[in-house]
Structure formats: structure tokens, C-alpha cells
Amino acid sequence: MSLRPYIVGNWKMHGTRAMLAEARAIDRAGQRHPKVEVALAPPFTLIHATRKEAEQIGVGAQDCHPADGGAHTGDVSAAMLADAGAGFVIVGHSERRNDHGETNELVRSKAESARKVGLGVILCVGESEAERDAGRAEEVVCAQLEASLPMNQGAVEKLSIAYEPVWAIGTGRVPSLEDIEAMHRAIRERLVATYGEEGAEVRILYGGSVKPDNAAEILNVPEVDGALVGGASLTAESFYGIILAASGENAD
Ligand code: 13P
């Protein structure tokens, strides 16, 4: 685990203003554990309010359009996200790749547009269950990665990768710790091959059924620098259990 683990909550399509109380409580938890970098990605509609309510944690978005602006009904540009108070954006989540047919090329252009306006990027990659069963997990993930990494100026700064096996998302199933380590090492190799020495600094997060009771062992796997958390980030109580595990401290 890196010196300052990065624990990010992805609220997906959950949350109305009533959930700002959870965001405030998560912010307080983040303040109590400054050795952990905590962030939340609420839906677009809550970014501005979450940024205003939270003093310490990072606030980001779950997607952006690659263009600077224009005739794209219903879409949101990276510059708009920054203006709303976002500091980073998640791109290439498997739910976007599957629900919206997002290609690696599109994901790369989204990541590049985000870096252009100074947003951090969390780029998601992950194999399906059939691909893992066929012994192709590493090949698939590395091909996704190589084709979707941002390549514009400053791309590698503020870039994180999230390895999220599709079959582990929302299922309660997680890969073995050995499989997580092997995949993170393979991702690290590709990052260094692409970006040189700077690739060694990119954080690699694990995502997929991270819960308070498995967070410590997953976060202790070599090359795991943090976690991207879905369901267990929706309440401050369960997210706190993961923040605490990342802090390496005991419950207070
Ligand atoms: P769960 O933690 O609910 O499995 O979701 C993981 C995820 O998709 C985070 O982006």
C-alpha cells in the first residue's frame, strides 16, 4: 500500500440531497484519519453541494464528455465538472463501458479532456467472468489499459488506475489476494512501459465488493494503493470501516 492510501467512494446513481448528511459524516471520518486520502464521487447533481459541505475530502464525478462543450444534450464537460467543484473524474467504469458502449478510444479521450482542465483521473479497467475463466484476464485488462491511458501533456500526473473485475462488482465475490497482486503488478509494468519512471508513481486501486471486513487484507496486498468502493460507500458507517482499515489504526 502506498504511504497515503486513496479510498474513493463511487455513489453511482444513488443519492439525493438527503444523503449530504452521509457526505458530511464521511468528511468528518476523513478529518480524523489524515493519513488516508478520502474522496467521494456522488452523482453530478450533488457535486456542488458535496464540495460545499465537505471540508477535507476530495469530491469528484463519475464520468465526463470528451468535448469542451457544444451540442451534446445531457452531457457534462470536464470544465463544467471543475467549475462545479470536482477535483477528479472516474472514466471507463465497466457500467459505462457496458451500459453505454464506451470504447477504449472514447475512455482515453475523456481522460485526456479531464487532464486538460486539471482534473485528476481514475481510469477503470477490468475483465468479465468469462474472460477470467478463459485465462485471459491479464491480457484483456492490459489491452484495455494500453488503449485507454491518456497520452496528452500532464496525463500521468493525478492519474490513478482502478482494477475492477466486472464479476466482483456488487456481487460480494472478490479475487484471491494472489490474483489481485498479480494483476496490479501487470498493470504497474504497463504503466512504467508507457510513462517511464513516472508510471511507478501512479496509484493502482482495487475495486469490487470491498467491505469493512475485507478491506484490511486487500489493502495490504503489494501494489494495492487504495480502493474504489461502491455499495459500502453509501453510508458513513460502512465507509468508515474501510477508512479505518486503510489507516492501519484500531477502532476508536
Ligand atoms: P461495489 O463496491 O458495490 O462492488 O462496487 C465497486 C465499484 O464498481 C466501484 O466503482
Q: Is the pLDDT assigned to residue 1 strictly greater than 60?
A: no
Instruction: Note the pLDDT tens digit of each residue in 182-219.
Output: 999 999 999 999 999 999 999 999 999 999 999 999 99
94: in domain:
no
Average pLDDT over every residue of 63-77:
98
Can you tell me the distance from the alpha carbon of 36 to that of 46, in angstroms, rounded to the nearest whole number? 23
Q: What is the pTM of this model?
A: 0.97
The number of domains in the chain is 1
251 band by pLDDT with thresholds 50, 70 and 90: low
Q: Is residue 99 part of a domain?
A: no
70: CB partners within 8 A, 6+ apart: none
**Residues near ligand 1 (Cβ within 6 A):** 10, 93, 164, 169-170, 207-210, 228-232
- Nearest atom in ligand 1 to 171's CA: 4
Distance 71 CA to ligand 1 centre (A): 32
Q: What phi and psi, each to the nearest 5 degrees, are found at residue 90?
A: -85, 130
Could you identify the atom of ligand 1 that is nearest to the CA of residue 169?
Answer: 4
Structural domain includes residue 15: yes
Percent of the chain with pLDDT over 90: 97
Q: Does 1 reside within a domain?
A: no
Pocket-testing residue among 62, 171, 210, ligand 1, by greatest number of atoms within 8 A of Cβ: 210
Give pLDDT, residue 249. 84
Inside any domain, residue 98:
no
CATH number at residue 80: 3.20.20.70
Inside any domain, residue 92? no
Residue 93 bears catalytic tag: yes
Residues spanned by the domain of 146 = 6-86+104-247
